Structure 1
């Protein structure tokens, strides 16, 4: 694939992701400046629960298909769906056993909200898997069509937010209705790729999935899950600022999704075809692309800040001033993004997980040492978590996966 094709396909994914998923984050930003901060934090906390359940669902860990040992996509698809059904049953049973505790923690006892979250977990997992499958086989046109259907969820959330006074209910129920419509359209347009058969993972596949689960949980902790930690040990003001940062981070994450949608399949293709030098060259070019995007974003931020464009909008300004912190996370994560697929293709799932855990333990030690000594600015700890995670993986990957192949 030429550099021009790489850029154009990445741009298509960024645009489609922005129109389909990114608009949901804009709704959240509107909630942040348009409703009481307590309601905004409630939505983020429930989103962190939804995200955690998502990450523990096999369908939401499709990166197993990037392993060079996975060649039968029909089987792996059925295995992922089968185990996801079992996980969903486990979620439902666990919820009923601990629902009173769950209600107290989140301050919400509306069963429709929690039912919507469980429905969203499974349907989103299936849609997410389909887009990744079509990306992997480089059928980008079909991947973009499936991903564009996410726009329906935005419209549904928007409609429910306008109709219902309870914005928490409107957000999750609206998303659920949107996902239901998407699943129906996938069936009508015949985007589904296999006839369902109940199949089990092999022992080796389970080992890979368990490592992916662990990596996903740590990813959740460094995202929306971090709010739960900050809520316990930090101040309400810092918690709200972290909420703004993570909300903005999700917008920047759409750029990562766009680039990686093209980048990851290319790395697997070139390594599988025994052309690691080309894969390494693409890695360097992609890293420069990320850094260039970050620089452009900062110039735009600096310009807007210099001309005081938002001075008359204090609520928006409170969110806007967190862009530098968000960009720091994005720059650090660029090193994570470019090295990530090498671990998957070379079947280094266990090593990938070990390095993630090591970075997390190191950050936890610093965080609780600082908290014990009265330093509770958890924004710094969030940045440190991203720094250690990215640096550990990038340095090891450069020395052991790329130079020694």
Structure 2
């Protein structure tokens, strides 16, 4: 079991820079603590103390916490309410899911005049007949009991026929305490045998022990905590000795042939939109994640976003302009918007060259038509087929297939014109450039 030490308390006081004397809130839940000690000396100004999920069996060493307003001791091994009389500022007390069967011990809370909220849900005493009447009668200043408001009508009923319903409380409590004493004896014999047969080095033995049905008792809860502590020590020793070290599975970003994969390791929502000129990727990064934890890496056919070491990768169907890619993140929503312009494909360049940006025929095409009119019919048909065949070939071709360079397009689309009638080749005339 874990001992409550000043080192542990100082570790949990990081929000107060490790200063204990002025500490007002302390959380020590699920630490395996068995006994409360030292808090009154170390933290005299505590107002909120959270001790749920431990194996504390007795309420003690709390009398010096004069400023304590809220005390949470849910999910522990407490059987009797005691040691809280000096907590003069206490307003809220949570003792849910313990083993309180001594209902008469709750009357000790009469000294806590500021107490307004009391939670006893999940304790054996809650099954007693007239349990709620008993609590309201003995603690008339309560405003909330077990997650429900104490109504005026409940208070009136609690103060009527007091002697009659109080007679039912004591027999029920005595019956429970007798059964509890028998349960303790049975648990001690049974648990001693089970613990002796448990082999902590054998996973099968541990699995069988965990699957065995057991009663809900302080002894069982304490033994489970001891087994958990032993297993944690075994795992830690194996880890320190280099045994059973589990490596984190590496995320695959590329196939064996080098082509990228779509990856969403952080499991974030995203949207992708595409137009003729660019891709727009919107990634819903965590809203409060600092920008220093986010990195954007664009590549020619994919983009990668790294968030705290986790990879998000999207593969584009067309090549993108890496140098012109921009990333902007919203400060209010955390949405990361990445704009990736496409690299203009050769087929688009050919279309622009033949048609022009306005969709009309270019000068070269009009020149081809003009040449066709000056030829004879047969030559006209051959040249017409040659000129338009070149244009169709350029339109059908894909940029992801065999790429066509710009100088090849010029060579394919420019057709040499025949000399006109009466043409004289004068060598003194300089050539047109």
Q: TM-score range by the shorter chain?
A: under 0.3
Q: TM-score, normalised by structure 1?
A: 0.20
Larger radius of gyration: 2
TM-score, length of structure 2 as denominator length: 0.19
Higher relative contact order (CA 8 A, sep 6+): 1
